[in-house]
Structure 1
Amino acid sequence: MQAIAHQTLNKAEDQEAVAAFGQRLGALASANDVLTRDNWSSASLGDVARGALATFGGDRFVFSGPDVTIGPRATLALTLMLHELATNAAKYGALSSPGGTVSVTWKIRRHDDKDALDLTWVERGGPPAVEPTRRGFGSRIIRMGLSGSGGVELSYETEGLMMRATAPLHQIQEA
């Protein structure tokens, strides 16, 4: 896919957009690799998160959470969301500073008599987070959340960006 995209778009005027497209394809390839291990039926949330963020420097991330299995649709949504968050962090946030780090944590909690997954992204050690003036495709991907239906809160703090995504557990475990 990346080779086809590169050949098709190699003369495009906006090479930054072409590079972003290639990086998004790479993120999807990472999700595909994780899903292939279990015949496209499910994936470990931790494996998905680590795979989606591997190209951004694994030593800059701290991962924490219980072993949670998610379905293929949530795997793709989570991969794209984390990739966009990391891309933004590399351009404007914690990953743009040498000492910046990102914490990715998740937990299962009870909400309205049902289990829900809470995933949190916290940037520290970079410049203050500033809310963007324009919302592009990447912002829409982030706001789609874990299941494609929202449930995302963004907080632009002086210490860095904080994002919290919540979804009913049964939704993210669907095949």
Structure 2
Amino acid sequence: MVLSSKQPMCFWWGPDLLKFYNDAYIPILGLRKAKALGRPFREVWADVWDDVLPFVRSALSGQATWMEDLPLVMTRNGYEEQTYWTFSYSPLYGDNGAIEGLLNIVTETTKAVAGREALQASYKEVQEHLARQEAHDRELRLLNAELAHRMKNTLGMVQSIVSQSIRSAESLEDAASVVLARIHALSKAQDLLTGISIAAAELSIIAENAIDPHRMDADRFRFSGPNLLISARQALGLSLALHELATNATKYGALSVPEGCVSIQWHLEDDHQFSLRWIETGGPLVRAPTRRGFGSKLTERAVADLFHGTAEIVFDPTGVVFSLQGRLDQSTDL
């Protein structure tokens, strides 16, 4: 039966488990085919003997075995190679009914396992690519929303700058000069928001640039805090927050009236704990908005993440207060 089968088969017989096999089994032997016939199992397959011994013992005790894709490292062709096998060991009985050997029906699945692993790797790569693409699409949507929001804000700021400059100017020429200067300052602030090319920046300079388009006179802004270097990413986030706050203050808050002013205070503790407060005074009565806009959410959530802490805008009746608590990045070398 073994010799006539097209399925790779062999059997081991007698106390030494001497090996006999059919033609379909020959490729499995590799370079061992010249010395395998009639030789003991333990000698022919010495390199995997310890791995298959539990299955041999089970079959010789009368319990047939079945294994799928069993990994075995073989040296059948003169070098170590990782192989995989699906096989069964079944007891063979002699004329007296005692177990005299075992039958091995086997299929090498090395190529099939390699194919499945390659397919799984390809599937994982595709999934990772799709995840990256989805993250890219989300980021693109956020950037598009931010761009649209920033364009609307810029137009609103230009309108406010022009109207307030004309209202306080003594002549048309005076107004034109002031408007041009303030729009130029606005352009500088926008440049800061689009990217910072240095590793760290001075916090006071970041604050000055962010509020420059809204500075109607020297007394409307008060700064208080130590000289601090902050990382480029935190500088960009803080610029964005101050830019949003100044825009809203110009439209609706303290900067919308001549007597209003803003105080910006920051502190740093020994353990890199950082805090900053934006306080508006002298403006119109503040009422909390019924709907939080994109800019407010971006100011609170994005800046809080960048500073590894919390950020909150409080609509106090006497003036808007923005509070940031967190810590500075420790890598702030210029």
4+ long deviations beyond 4 Å: 21-26, 171-175
Distance 1:96 1:21, change over 3 A: closer
Normalising by structure 1, we get a TM-score of 0.75
Describe the SS at the equivalent of 1:90.
helix
Counterpart in the other structure of 1:99 = 259
Q: 2:233 aligns with which of 45, 67, 73?
A: 73
Moved more, 77-86 or 49-58: 49-58
Shift in alpha-carbon separation, 1:151–1:171, aligned structure 2, 3 A: farther
Are the aligned partners of 1:62 and 1:103 in contact in 2 as well (CA < 8 Å)? yes
Which of residues 153, 157, 160 in structure 2 aligns to 1:20? 153
Question: SS of 1:133's equivalent?
Answer: coil
Root-mean-square deviation (CA, aligned residues, Å) is 2.9
Shift, 1:140, TM fit: 1.7
Higher mean alpha-carbon deviation, 100-109 vs 150-159, is at: 150-159
Stretches of structure 2 lacking an aligned partner (at least 5 in a row) = 1-147, 158-185
Structure 1 equivalent of residue 209 of structure 2: 51
Could you tell me whether the CA contact under 8 Å between 2:188 and 2:209 is conserved in 1? no
Residue in structure 2 matched with residue 118 of structure 1 by the alignment: 275
Query: What is the DSSP-based 3-state SS (H/G/I as helix, E as strand, rest coil) of the residue aligned with 1:27?
Result: helix
**How far apart, CA to CA, are the structure 1 residues paired with 2:199 and 2:272?**
20
Letter in 1 for 2:312: E
Structure 1 16/66 Cα, relative in aligned 2: closer, same or farther at 3 Å? closer
Structure 1: distance between partners of 2:330 and 2:285: 34
The alignment status of 1:30 with 2:187, answered yes or no, reads: no
Q: Distance in 1 between matches of 2:331 and 2:318?
A: 30
1:158 to 317, 320, 329: 317
Residue 170 of structure 2 is aligned to residue 170 of structure 1 = no
Alpha-carbon offset, residue 160 of structure 1: 0.5
Deviations 1:133-161 (A, max 9, x none): 11222112210225265511222222101
Distance (Å, rounded) in 2 between the aligned partners of 1:150 and 1:108: 14
- Hey, what's the Cα distance between the residues in 2 that align with 1:171 and 1:137? 30
Would the aligned equivalents of 1:44 and 1:67 in 2 still touch at CA under 8 Å? Answer: yes
Is the 2:189–2:212 Cα contact (8 Å) retained in structure 1?
no
Q: Which amino acid aligns with 1:68?
A: L
Q: 1:64 and 1:173, CA in 2 relative to 1: closer, same or farther beyond 3 A?
A: same
For the pair shown, which has the larger CA radius of gyration, 1 or 2?
2
Distance 2:332 2:296 in 1: 24
Is 1:140 the counterpart of 2:297? The answer is yes
Q: State how many pairs are aligned.
A: 154
1:10 match? none
2:310–2:324 contact (8 Å) kept in structure 1: yes
Instruction: Answer 1 or 2: higher relative contact order, Cα 8 Å, separation at least 6.
Output: 1
* Unpaired runs of at least 5, structure 1: 1-14
